[in-house]
């Protein structure tokens, strides 16, 4: 597939995004940027959130993981289902009752300013590191298949992509990305469905026949009953539940769209619709993964798991249409997670760190501050992507992504403690607990699975014997976020007292 043709479609796609942004951002103000004037259509939010929750890394990694992990990933998706119900019927009513712009304002009303700042800090840390690592991995794919062949340097590719994202988000914010994410989710799903259909036909079979072939290979196995395995079904389901609660329900990026909907009922309908569609989409990704491995086996294609989808989609065996759809789908999966991250980080920093909602000043002054923060985060993203490029080691980046996920533990612990108890905290010790708890969780995980860390960090930890003696082969999996949250919860309990101060959760 000619890189010039692919590049021309990428440019056309960007022009379409900028056109949508132009028309949707007219008449915008700070409230539009932060919460879409609380007037967003719940159906658009639900559909657009699919693209936000499925990053470009997911787009290639979930299909690529079928070869070694079968359909075990769907166990996590089942956990998501439970977690999203908790979000819909516990967290959403709380956020609307308090009329929040930033969800971390709850922590200040419940525990004080230190809890508020801690919650915002861990969100910012996680989002900056996680979003930029994923951005780097996807830009690397685009660089390999398009921009290297056009002799465009990686640094220029990164700069242009971030500049375009900045252009279509800096004015309208949430008000705009509700629409651009809907467009991009459409592009991602179109690419997913068409690529799947074409590859199934190339195998000379249909969907039922493809499932039968996958079943013969063992790919369609969903439940892992090996208790010691990291993918044991209870670990995945419980882990998926708390991943959904923490990484969606306690995440400003995801929740700022939900609280931009007119009322609680519409927001709850949004969550439930999003959940149903997400389950179907994830199953399609797994199905595609099975087809890709069958096709690779038949055609003697041997590549790393994350390279499987792009290698086949962009090969000469298929028409250029598939290559174009793959690139558009990949970009469509990437952009919602990046534009939402920059917008939510701007909201979080302005409201939670700078206290913009509490300060006096004209709308024009606040907008000027918000634009400076928005641009600054784009610069931070640019620098971080270049740092990952300098590291240039996917194994180390896997560790960094895991670390970014661990930082959600303090958020899970803080919100759980606030909702489930009426105790008050010693504000001076909140930061200590929120720093120590994830470090303890990371240490426990390292002790449970030293081989994983040794491979990722290229070091010898010498913990294998100790690990076997303590865990007897048990590997901590997706339940790590729950363990992290429990450590935080218990730490908060140690620094708490009953107190006589009334808990204030009013607006």
Write the DSSP string, 291-309.
Answer: HHHHHHHHTT----HHHHH
pLDDT at 466: 92
**What tens digit of pLDDT does each residue of 452-499 get?**
888 888 888 889 899 999 988 888 888 889 999 999 999 999 999 986
pTM: 0.86
pLDDT at 57: 66
Cα dihedral across residues 161, 197, 81, 40: positive or negative: positive
Q: Quick one: three-class SS letters along 15-50?
A: HHHHHHHHHHCCCCCHHHHHHHHHCECHHHHHHHHH
Task: State the Cα–Cα distance between residues 425 and 417, nearest whole angstrom.
Answer: 10
Task: State the Cα–Cα distance between residues 261 and 37, nearest whole angstrom.
Answer: 9
Instruction: List, for the chain, all residue ranges whose pLDDT scores fall below the cut of 50.
Output: 502-507
pLDDT at 242: 92
**What tens digit of pLDDT does each residue of 191-238 get?**
889 989 999 998 888 989 999 999 999 899 999 998 888 788 998 999
Return the ∠ at Cα 226 (arms to 408 and 403), rounded to 5°: 20
Backbone angles phi and psi of 163, in degrees to 5: -65, -40
Nearest to residue 45, comparing CAs of 282, 336, 350, 347?
336
Cα dihedral across residues 296, 298, 299, 302: positive or negative: positive
Percent of the chain with pLDDT over 70: 93
Instruction: Look up tokens 């000379």; give the residue.
Output: 204
Task: State the Cα–Cα distance between residues 151 and 143, nearest whole angstrom.
Answer: 9
pLDDT at 503: 44
Q: What six digits make up the tokens of 347?
A: 């909201």
DSSP 8-state secondary structure symbol assigned to residue 261: B
CB burial string 403-413: b at 16+ within 10 A, e below: bbbbbbbbbbb
Task: State the Cα–Cα distance between residues 211 and 206, nearest whole angstrom.
Answer: 9
Instruction: Look up tokens 């467009």; give the residue.
Output: 183
Task: State the Cα–Cα distance between residues 54 and 48, nearest whole angstrom.
Answer: 10
CATH number for the segment(s) 3-392: 1.20.1730.10
Give domain limits for the chain: 3-392
């Amino acid at each position: 597939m000619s890189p010039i043709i692919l590049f021309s479609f990428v440019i056309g796609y960007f022009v379409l995004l900028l056109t949508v942004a132009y028309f949707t951002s007219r008449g915008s103000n700070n409230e539009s940027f932060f919460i879409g004037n609380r007037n967003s259509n719940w159906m658009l939010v639900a559909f657009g959130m699919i693209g936000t929750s499925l990053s470009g890394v997911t787009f290639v990694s979930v299909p690529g993981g079928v070869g070694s992990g079968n359909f075990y990933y769907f166990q996590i998706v089942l956990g998501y289902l439970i977690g999203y119900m908790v979000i819909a019927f516990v967290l959403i009513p709380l956020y609307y009752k308090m009329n929040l712009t930033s969800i971390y304002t709850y922590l200040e009303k419940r525990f004080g300013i230190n809890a508020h700042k801690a919650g915002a800090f861990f969100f910012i840390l996680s989002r900056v590191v996680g979003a930029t690592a994923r951005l780097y991995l996807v830009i690397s794919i685009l660089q390999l298949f398009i921009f290297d062949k056009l002799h465009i340097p990686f640094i220029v590719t990164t700069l242009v992509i971030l500049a375009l994202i900045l252009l279509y988000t800096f004015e309208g914010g949430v008000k705009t990305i509700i629409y651009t994410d809907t467009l991009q989710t459409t592009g991602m799903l179109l690419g997913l469905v068409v690529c799947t259909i074409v590859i199934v036909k190339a195998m000379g079979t249909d969907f039922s026949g493809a499932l039968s072939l996958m079943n013969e290979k063992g790919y369609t196995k969903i439940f892992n009953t090996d208790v010691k395995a990291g993918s044991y079904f209870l670990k995945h389901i419980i882990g998926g539940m708390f991943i959904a609660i923490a990484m969606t329900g306690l995440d400003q990026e995801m929740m700022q769209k939900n609280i931009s909907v007119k009322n609680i009922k519409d927001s709850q309908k949004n969550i439930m619709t999003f959940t149903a569609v997400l389950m179907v989409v994830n199953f399609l990704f797994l199905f595609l993964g099975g087809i890709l491995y069958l096709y690779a086996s038949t055609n003697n294609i041997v590549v790393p798991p994350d390279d499987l989808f792009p290698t086949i989609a962009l090969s000469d065996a298929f028409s250029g249409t598939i290559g174009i759809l793959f690139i558009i789908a990949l970009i469509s999966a990437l952009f919602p997670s990046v534009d939402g991250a920059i917008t939510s980080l701007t909201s979080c920093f302005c409201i939670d760190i700078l206290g913009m909602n509490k300060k006096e000043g004209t709308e024009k002054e606040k907008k000027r501050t918000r634009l400076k923060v928005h641009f600054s985060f784009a610069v931070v993203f640019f620098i971080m992507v270049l740092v990952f490029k300098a590291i240039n080691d996917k194994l180390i980046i896997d560790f960094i992504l895991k670390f970014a996920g661990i930082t959600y533990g303090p958020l899970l612990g803080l919100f759980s403690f606030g909702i489930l108890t009426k105790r008050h905290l010693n504000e001076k010790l909140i930061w200590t607990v929120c720093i120590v708890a994830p470090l303890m969780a990371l240490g426990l995980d390292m002790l449970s699975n030293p081989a994983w860390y040794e491979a990722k960090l290229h070091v010898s930890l010498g913990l294998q014997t100790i690990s076997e003696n303590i865990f007897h082969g048990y590997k901590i999996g997706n339940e790590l976020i729950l363990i992290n949250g429990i450590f935080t919860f218990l730490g908060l309990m140690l620094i708490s007292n009953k107190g006589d101060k009334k808990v204030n959760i009013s607006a």
